[in-house]
Amino acid sequence: MFDFVVAGVVAPIFLLVFVGFTVGTVGGFIGVGGGYMVTPALIVFGFPGYMASGIDMTHIAGKGLVSTIRHRQLGNIDWTMALSMVAGTMLGVELGVRLLVYFKKLGISGVVLLLTSVVVMFSLFLYTQIETRRAHRKAEQMTRDGQKIAREIQTSNLPSYFQRIPFFPIVRCRTARVVVSMWVIVGVGVITGFLAGFLGVGGGFIRVPALVYLVGASTHIAVGTDLVEIVFSGGYGALRHSMEGHVDMMAVLFMILGAMFGAQFGSIATSYVRGPAIRYILSYSLILATCGAVLRLAYVLTGQSVEILSLLAVMLTLGEMIFLCLFIISLVLFAIRHRHGKSVPPWVPSLVV
Amino acid sequence: MAKRLRWFIDSMFGYWVLLLLISLGTAAGIYEVWLKGRM
């Protein structure tokens, strides 16, 4: 137990380091900040809501930087795409926050927010899961036929439509090997930023599928490029929260301690798997987060009287972090076994490199 | 019996279920040991 004087909370150090490690691993692997998992967890540990947001945002900035450096070394960042998207994201976030303020004035922000979260996350889960299953089956067929499989297998036709949009300037994203109108990238930034600003999240879980399915980047590049965005948004958020006195640096330090290892492990783990494996983990993260949001929505709609719903949402959030982290660790272990010619489950070879 | 248990490893959905059960169990353990009474 440690007395966090600024937050006025006594909490176990182990849990903060543990949350830092698990969310760091997941964030480095699927390119998200993980705020939708960390903030509820910190509130459960006893931190006030505003402190939880501040600590979360500050730790995301640090963790995002570690992951970004690792992904840069792995060649997973397309700077043209990242910097083009930043401008659109900023505009989108501003628009999203303004809409949220409007709904707040009407007094219905809580329900609208949770309902939108459920619809957005479930739709993304459905599309990602269906497409990834198709890609996985294709890869399995190729394995059976003895063909060589590339690191990325993607079966969606959407990128080809967006890449044909002829608006000037057309940019060549060299690392992603994509030629596309800059307005498509900026537009993706605006739409994903709008949803992120409205839902009050970093938006990585929206941007990564958008970069894959709309712009046509490979999953590895989408993850690395999105982490650059997270460094910008997390850094700005950390600065704003620090100025407002919403950050307990000791809590941030303990979380960063875990995240430092987790973020590096998660980033390096991407080099052991193919694109569909990352998209599978992303879709699992989305469906579990959707279930958590449904439970919170039910809790709000029942007038916050059925305490078991809130408790189940908390358990699901903690369980989700552990589940995703275990899945990533096991994929890496399976990949190592497969490389050494040892037996692995039949669904693994087409997902690992 | 052993054949049934193999389903948890050999099928991707089975592995998903296995890991989810382990994770939710661990989350319940964390709640019991550290968080009960704090909420």
How much is the ipTM here? Answer: 0.93
Shortest CA gap A44–chain B (Å) = 6
pLDDT at A105: 81
Please tell me which residue of chain A has the smallest CA distance to B16: A327
φ and ψ at A180, to 5 degrees?
A: -155, 155
Do B27 and A318 make contact, defined as CB atoms within 8 angstroms? yes
Reported as a single tens digit per residue, the pLDDT across A86-109 is 888 888 888 888 887 788 788 766
Using CB atoms, pick whichever of A284, A316, A326 lies closest to residue B22. Answer: A326
pLDDT at A109: 67
For residue A5, is pLDDT > 80? no
For residue B39, is pLDDT > 60? no
pLDDT band of A353, cuts 50, 70, 90: confident
Q: Which residues of A touch B12 (CB under 8 A)?
A: 345, 347
Please tell me which residue of chain A has the smallest CA distance to B18: A323
pLDDT band of A7, cuts 50, 70, 90: low
Using CB atoms, pick whichever of B23, B28, B39 lies closest to residue A326. Answer: B23
**How far apart are alpha carbons B6 and A348 in whole angstroms?**
15
For residue A29, is pLDDT > 70? yes
Q: Side-chain half-sphere of A106: how many Cα atoms within 13 Å?
A: 12
φ and ψ at A11, to 5 degrees?
A: -140, 155
Do A320 and B12 make contact, defined as CB atoms within 8 angstroms? no
Distance of alpha carbon A163 from the chain centroid:
24
Highest mean pLDDT: which range of A7-11, A243-247, A291-295, A340-344: A340-344
Q: Within 10 A of A109 (CB to CB), how many other CB atoms are there?
A: 17
The span from the first CA to the last CA of chain B, in angstroms, equals: 41
Helix (H), strand (E) counts: chain B: 2, 0
pLDDT at A342: 93
Average pLDDT over residues A288-296: 86
In percent, how much of chain A has pLDDT > 90? 41
Rounded to two decimals, the pTM is: 0.91
Shortest CA gap B27–chain A (Å) = 5
Residues in chain A: 353
Do A45 and B26 make contact, defined as CB atoms within 8 angstroms? no
pLDDT band of A14, cuts 50, 70, 90: confident
Please tell me which residue of chain B has the smallest CA distance to A13: B34
Q: Which residues of B touch A23 (CB under 8 A)?
A: none
**How far apart are alpha carbons A104 and A85 in whole angstroms?**
28
Average pLDDT over residues A130-158: 89
Distance of alpha carbon A123 from the chain centroid:
16
pLDDT band of B1, cuts 50, 70, 90: low
Instruction: Tell me which of A159-168, A336-345, B17-26 is least confident.
Output: A159-168
For residue A3, is pLDDT > 80? no
Mutate to test the interface with B, among A326, A337, A343 (most CBs of B within 10 A): A326
Cβ neighbourhood burial of A80 (10 Å; 0-12, 13-18, 19+): middle
Element (H, E) at A13: helix A13-30
